[in-house]
C-alpha cells in the first residue's frame, strides 16, 4: 500500500470513528466521581474508563490546544470539550450528563474519546441524588473514624486509612479530602443550575486507568505559584504559602498523596494542608513513604521515575518563555503486589493478536466482549521478572501557565521556567538518595 493510499485509509477510519463517537455521545454520558484525585481545587469527574473531565478554564484549554511537541509525552492527552449539565432521571435522581459541544458549524469538539464505562444503564451508575449512593453519604459514613495519626519517625500526618480489597471486589476506595472537594464543587453547580445549567468541561486522559491500585503523588512545582493576572490579594496569599512551605527552599511541595500499604491492605492519604506543613526532612520522609509499601522500599520504581524526571527537565529547558505557575507534577504507579499483578489473558477462542485488537477497540468503548462492563476480561497472574514496572510522570493543571502564544497575557517572560526546573532538580536529587537508603 502506497503512503498516499495508507494516509487516505487512516483518515477514513478516523472519520468513521468520529461519527460513531458523535452518535454515541448524542445520547448523553453520565459522569461519575473520579476516585483517584489527590490534589488540586477543581472537581475532576470520570467520563469513561480511560477519560476524565474537569471544568474548562480558557487559559488551560488554550495551553492543551497549542502544546509544544517537546511537552506532549509529559502531559495528559487532550480529548476535546463537552457540555455538562444536571438532569433528573425517572426516579428523581439528579445526574450529571455530558453531551458533545457543538460549534457554529455543527461539528462537535471531540478527539479520541473513550466510552468504555458507559455501556451500563443509569441504574448501575453512581448518581448525585439522595436515592442512590452519593459522595456525601460515603463521606458521612466515615465521620466517626479517626482522621489522622502520627508517623513514629517524623511529623507526618496521615488522613484516614481505607481498606483496599484486591480480589474481585467492586468496593469504592475513596480519599476523604477528595469527597469533600467534589461535594463542595457539585453543590455550587446544583445551586446555580436554576440559572445556568450548562458548563463546559475539557476531556483528558485518565492516567490511572491501567492500574489496579493506583498510588498517586501530586507535587506543586516551582518557587512561585501566582499567575501574572491574579489579584493583589491572591498574589500575597500565594507568596505566603510558598514562603511557609518547602516551595521556597526547594521549589516543590506535597499537594496530595495516596499510597497502598501491602502489609495492612490499606490506602494511606495525605492532603495539601498536611503538605504545606512539612519541613524539608518531612518532605523527604513523605517521598520515602510514597515508594514504601509497608514491607519494603519499592526500589525498582526509582530508576524509571528518575529517568522520566530527567527527560522532563530536558524538555522544559527547551521551552523558551513558558511559565508553569501553580502547575502540579503527578507520579503514579500500581500498588498491587508485583507477584500478583494482573494482566488481561486471551479470551477463549481468541489469539494474542485478537486480544490486542479487542483492547484497542475497548479504548473507544466499542468492545467485543459480551460482558459489557468496563475493564472486563479475565485476569492472569504475572511474575515480577518482566521489564521495568509501569510508572508515569506527568505535568497537570495549567490554569496559570503562560507562553508567547497567549495573546491575552499581560507579561511575556524570557528564558526558561527556572523555578520549576529548580524544583525538578531538587526532586531528582532527593529521589536519587532514596536508592541508597539503608533501611527498608
pLDDT tens digit sequence for 169-179: 333 355 665 56
**Contact assessment for residue 154 and residue 285, using Cβ atoms and an 8 Å cutoff:** yes
| Per-residue pLDDT tens over the stretch 221-256 | 999 877 777 788 888 888 899 889 999 999 999 999
Locate all alpha helices (DSSP H) within 193-279, ordered by sequence: 232-243, 246-250, 272-277
**Contact assessment for residue 225 and residue 328, using Cβ atoms and an 8 Å cutoff:** no
| Per-residue pLDDT tens over the stretch 185-220 | 666 666 665 556 788 999 999 999 999 999 999 999
Q: For residue 318, what is the DSSP state?
A: T
Domain membership flag for residue 351: no
pLDDT for res 124? 32
Instruction: Identify the CA nearest to 390 among candidates 342, 323, 329, 325.
Output: 342
pLDDT for res 120? 37
pLDDT for res 69? 87
Domain membership flag for residue 102: yes
pLDDT for res 40? 72
How many separate domains does the chain show? 1
Q: Where is pLDDT greater, at 1 or 317?
A: 317
pLDDT for res 184? 65
Domain membership flag for residue 64: yes
Distances (CA, A) of 403 to 170, 217, 252: 43, 26, 21
Residue 265 binned pLDDT confidence (cut-offs 50, 70, 90)? confident
pLDDT for res 121? 32
Residue 332 binned pLDDT confidence (cut-offs 50, 70, 90)? very high
Average pLDDT, the chain: 73
Task: State residue 248 phi and psi, 5-degree precision.
Answer: -70, -40
Domain that holds residue 144: 3-341+382-434
Domain membership flag for residue 262: yes
Domain membership flag for residue 370: no
pLDDT for res 178? 57
Domain membership flag for residue 347: no
pLDDT for res 293? 94
Percent of the chain scoring above 90 in pLDDT = 35
Is residue 275 scored above 70 in pLDDT? Answer: yes
| Per-residue pLDDT tens over the stretch 46-67 | 998 899 999 999 999 999 998 8
Is residue 306 scored above 80 in pLDDT? Answer: yes
Domain membership flag for residue 242: yes
Looking only at the bridges linking them, the beta strands covering 391-396 and 45-48 are: unpaired
Residue with cell string 483492547: 359
pLDDT for res 85? 86
In CATH, what number is assigned to the domain containing residue 79?
3.30.470.160
Distance CA 357, CA 362 (A): 9
pLDDT for res 182? 59
- What count of other Cβ atoms lies within 10 Å of the Cβ of residue 7? 11
Instruction: Identify the CA nearest to 156 among candidates 331, 283, 291.
Output: 283
* Top mean-pLDDT range of 155-159, 357-361, 414-418: 414-418
| Per-residue pLDDT tens over the stretch 345-375 | 444 444 444 434 333 333 333 222 333 333 3
Is residue 162 scored above 60 in pLDDT? Answer: no
Instruction: Supply 146's cell numbers.
Output: 479517626
Instruction: Supply 332's cell numbers.
Output: 503514579
| Percentages of the chain per state (helix, strand, coil), in multiples of 5 | 35, 20, 45
Distance CA 76, CA 109 (A): 17
Residue with cell string 448501575: 124
Burial of 278 (0-12, 13-18, 19+ CB in 10 A): buried
**Contact assessment for residue 56 and residue 81, using Cβ atoms and an 8 Å cutoff:** yes
Is residue 101 scored above 60 in pLDDT? Answer: yes
Q: Which helix (H) or strand (E) holds 352?
A: helix 352-362
3-state secondary structure of 86: strand
pLDDT for res 195? 58
pTM metric for this prediction: 0.71
Domain membership flag for residue 360: no
Is residue 320 scored above 60 in pLDDT? Answer: yes
Q: For residue 72, what is the DSSP state?
A: G
pLDDT for res 310? 98
The length of the chain, given as a count of residues: 440
Task: State residue 199 phi and psi, 5-degree precision.
Answer: -125, 145
Amino acid at each position: 500500500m502506497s503512503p498516499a493510499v495508507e494516509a487516505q485509509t487512516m483518515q477514513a477510519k478516523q472519520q468513521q470513528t468520529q461519527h460513531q463517537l458523535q452518535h454515541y455521545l448524542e445520547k448523553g454520558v453520565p459522569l461519575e466521581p473520579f476516585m483517584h484525585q489527590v490534589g488540586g481545587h477543581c472537581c475532576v469527574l470520570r467520563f469513561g474508563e480511560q477519560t476524565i473531565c474537569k471544568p474548562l478554564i480558557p487559559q488551560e484549554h488554550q495551553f492543551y490546544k497549542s502544546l509544544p511537541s517537546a511537552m506532549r509525552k509529559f502531559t495528559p492527552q487532550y480529548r476535546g470539550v463537552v457540555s455538562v449539565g444536571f438532569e433528573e432521571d425517572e426516579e428523581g435522581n439528579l445526574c450529571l450528563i455530558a453531551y458533545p459541544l457543538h460549534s457554529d458549524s455543527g461539528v462537535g469538539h471531540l478527539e479520541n474519546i473513550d466510552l468504555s464505562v458507559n455501556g451500563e444503564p443509569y441504574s448501575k451508575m453512581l448518581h448525585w441524588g439522595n436515592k442512590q449512593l452519593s459522595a456525601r453519604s460515603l463521606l458521612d459514613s466515615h465521620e466517626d473514624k479517626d482522621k489522622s495519626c502520627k508517623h513514629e519517625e517524623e511529623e507526618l500526618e496521615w488522613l484516614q486509612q481505607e481498606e483496599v480489597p484486591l480480589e474481585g471486589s467492586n468496593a469504592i476506595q475513596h480519599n476523604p479530602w477528595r469527597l469533600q472537594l467534589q461535594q463542595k464543587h457539585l453543590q455550587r453547580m446544583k445551586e446555580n443550575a436554576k440559572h445556568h445549567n450548562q458548563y463546559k468541561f475539557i476531556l483528558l486522559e485518565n492516567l490511572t486507568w491501567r492500574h489496579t491500585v493506583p498510588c498517586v503523588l501530586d507535587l506543586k512545582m516551582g518557587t512561585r505559584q501566582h499567575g501574572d493576572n491574579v489579584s493583589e490579594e491572591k498574589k500575597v496569599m500565594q507568596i505566603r504559602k510558598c514562603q511557609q512551605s518547602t516551595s521556597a527552599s526547594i521549589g516543590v511541595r506535597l499537594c496530595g498523596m495516596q499510597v497502598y500499604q501491602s502489609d495492612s491492605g490499606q490506602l494511606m492519604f495525605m492532603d495539601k494542608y498536611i503538605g504545606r506543613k512539612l519541613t524539608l526532612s518531612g518532605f523527604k520522609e513523605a517521598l520515602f513513604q510514597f515508594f514504601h509499601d509497608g514491607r519494603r522500599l519499592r526500589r525498582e520504581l526509582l530508576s524509571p521515575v528518575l529517568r522520566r524526571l530527567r527527560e522532563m527537565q530536558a524538555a522544559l529547558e527547551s521551552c523558551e518563555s513558558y511559565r508553569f505557575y501553580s502547575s502540579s507534577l503527578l507520579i503514579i504507579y500500581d500498588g498491587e503486589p508485583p507477584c500478583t499483578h494482573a494482566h488481561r489473558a486471551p479470551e477463549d477462542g481468541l489469539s494474542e493478536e485478537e486480544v490486542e485488537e479487542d483492547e484497542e477497540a475497548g479504548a473507544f468503548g466499542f468492545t467485543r466482549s459480551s460482558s459489557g462492563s468496563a475493564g472486563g476480561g479475565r485476569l492472569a497472574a504475572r511474575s515480577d521478572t518482566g521489564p521495568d514496572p509501569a510508572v508515569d510522570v506527568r505535568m497537570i493543571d495549567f490554569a496559570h501557565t503562560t507562553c508567547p502564544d497567549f495573546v491575552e497575557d499581560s507579561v511575556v517572560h524570557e528564558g526558561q521556567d527556572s523555578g520549576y526546573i529548580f524544583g525538578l532538580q531538587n526532586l531528582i536529587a532527593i529521589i536519587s538518595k532514596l536508592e541508597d537508603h539503608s533501611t527498608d
